[in-house]
Structure 1
Amino acid sequence: MPTSDSPSGPIAFIGGGNMARSLIGGLVARGTSAASIRVAEPMDALRDGLAKDFGVHVFSDNRQAADGAAVWILAVKPQVMRQVCEALAPLAQEARPLIVSIAAGITSAQLGRWLGGGELYDGGLSDSVIRIVRCMPNTPALLGAGVTGLFANAAVDAAGHAQAETLLSAAGATVWIEDEAHMDAVTAVSGSGPAYVFLLAEAMEAAARSEGLSDDAARTLVLQTVLGAARMLTESGEAPAELRRRVTSPGGTTQAAVETFEAGGLRDLVAQAIRNATERGKQLSAANDADA
């Protein structure tokens, strides 16, 4: 059933790609009326698929979907976000919706400016500041097993926080971030993070095959090991270091492998990888604002 934190009016998705689809599916599964969801998507196949699978209203025009909606979820690619927002700016100023963006590298200030909103300033808000929640979900959201970092600008009240959390929790867990500058780190850790796990699994499979295991055996052993370890991490309540200690017998096979990882600088390599991903997020934000 819908909760009291659900938006009081229609929800408009601007963009109907994979992440939007996962959120729509989660919302419908949790009791949100499909009739209250509108989706603007230029690709016929995606648009028709959403209408067929979920019964939502679909449009090829962004303004048609957004007009009258209480919440706009901006789910377009970062490189076209400015164009999309500027085209919707007159309606945004008139309708004053809650804006929820799931685009990486686009700040709330950029979104507000492109939507024609006023600036935040010390001591208060101008009357034209737009309520914006910036979100960073990750691809496991497609399975309802994702995690999303959220940041709200100062214009978003408690009701807006609750509405955004209700919407994004349809895809998994949520974490609020107080300082928007840390959203690039969220992107580096969880947004990009599934690829790190996939890379480890890929390397483990290759190593298993090099030790003589068949392709099928290597795949099954690695996938179930990753799945089981993830469940232990999320369900045991224990810290990763403690779980690692429990399976690392002195002088055993696990210790031999772990010592190899440590000697190879795994911790420093992971830290540097996340640092580089964080910096890249900042660069993308700056690039999107370069000609603003």
Structure 2
Amino acid sequence: MLPPISFVGGGNMATAMIAGLSRLVLRPELAVAEPDPAKRATFTAQGVVATAENTQAVAAGKIIVLAVKPQSAATALPEIAAAWDSSKLLVSILAGTPTAKLEAALPSGARVVRAMPNTPLAIGQGMVGICPGKHAGSHELGLAEALFAPCGKVLRVADESRMDAITAVSGSGPAYFFRFAEALVDAAMALGFTRDEAILLIGQTGAGSWDYLQRSGFDAARLRQQVTSPGGTTAAALNVIDASAFTDLWVRALAAAEARGRELAKG
């Protein structure tokens, strides 16, 4: 069973994580610091200890999840430090914030794990990358993995510099799929379908194809070849896509996202 968990910030990510943790058979003690009274009331109704004071929430937990917006971190970190003791672990989901910066704001030797979740965490289908800070090891990574497991899958990396790549691939990744869906719907409408018809066609094709891909062991090339008859309609479409250097486009896009992540981490 996980030790008591306290969230500093009760936004969308924290709400999803709390919902996932609440479904566990061995539910841990949960607390959250959230300034919005309406949100606090919702958490309280779910059996979560809700407070407006960061220090009070931190005092109650052994795993502290830093889930505020980046602009609120400067206020939250000193309050976390004020209630800190060596038994606690900080798990931060602040985008672009290195563990060294968080460690510097806390008492010496503080154990920190950095995490990069993505938005499908909200429906229990998230992907989360985690890495240890200077004073964290396999035990702390195990706790962080158990923290996120009810809401998705977790990838551990030992080198924190890889977190910018994780952000580029999975952190920002949902937006790529959403943008692709937008483009396909627009293209279907250009062929004369109504928006509702286009969403039905693209939505079900996407859902079915993704499930088929997962069940195949992610053998995308083989499945693509099965659909593509030489000289047929699929080949005609793929020829247009391939002529646009499609793979290179994604290589450049992900590299740009990774580079921007490094820039943001430098402040």
| TM-score for the superposition, normalised by structure 2 | 0.95
> Could you say which residue in structure 2 is the equivalent of 1:187?
167
Q: Which runs of 4+ in 1 moved over 4 A?
A: none
Deviation at 1:32, TM superposition (A): 4.3
| 2:93 paired with 1:102 | yes
The equivalences for 1:221-236 within 5 A come to 221-236=201-216
Q: Distance in 2 between matches of 1:55 and 1:226?
A: 38
Q: Distance in 2 between matches of 1:260 and 1:235?
A: 28
Q: Distance in 2 between matches of 1:275 and 1:79?
A: 26
> Could you say which residue in structure 1 is the equivalent of 2:104?
113
Give the aligned residue type for 1:87. Answer: E
| 2:69 paired with 1:89 | no
Q: Structure 1 pair 19/83, CA: closer, same or farther in 2 (3 Å)? A: same
> Could you say which residue in structure 2 is the equivalent of 1:17?
11
Residues 116-174 of structure 1 show CA distances to partners (whole Å, capped at 9, x for unaligned) of 4xxxxxxxxxxx32111111111111110111011012422333222111111111111
Instruction: Please say if residues 82 and 111 of structure 1, whose CA atoms lie closer than 8 Å, have aligned partners that are also in contact.
Output: no
Residue of structure 2 aligned with 1:42, choices 19, 35, 38? 35
Residue of structure 1 aligned with 2:194, choices 188, 204, 214? 214
Residues 60-91 of structure 1 show CA distances to partners (whole Å, capped at 9, x for unaligned) of 11001110311100101122223311232232
Q: CA RMSD in A?
A: 1.5
Q: Secondary structure at the match of 2:83?
A: helix
> Could you say which residue in structure 2 is the equivalent of 1:255?
235
Instruction: Please say if residues 89 and 111 of structure 2, whose CA atoms lie closer than 8 Å, have aligned partners that are also in contact.
Output: yes
Q: Distance in 1 between matches of 2:5 and 2:185?
A: 43
Q: Distance in 2 between matches of 1:256 and 1:103?
A: 44
Deviation at 1:234, TM superposition (A): 2.2
Give the aligned residue type for 2:168. Answer: A
Gaps of 5+ in 2: none
Instruction: Please say if residues 138 and 146 of structure 1, whose CA atoms lie closer than 8 Å, have aligned partners that are also in contact.
Output: yes
Residues 177-222 of structure 1 show CA distances to partners (whole Å, capped at 9, x for unaligned) of 1211010111111111111111010010011111011221101111
Instruction: Please say if residues 204 and 222 of structure 1, whose CA atoms lie closer than 8 Å, have aligned partners that are also in contact.
Output: yes
> Could you say which residue in structure 2 is the equivalent of 1:269?
249
Q: Distance in 1 between matches of 2:215 and 2:95?
A: 29
| TM-score for the superposition, normalised by structure 1 | 0.87
Deviation at 1:272, TM superposition (A): 1.3
Residue of structure 2 aligned with 1:72, choices 64, 67, 72? 64
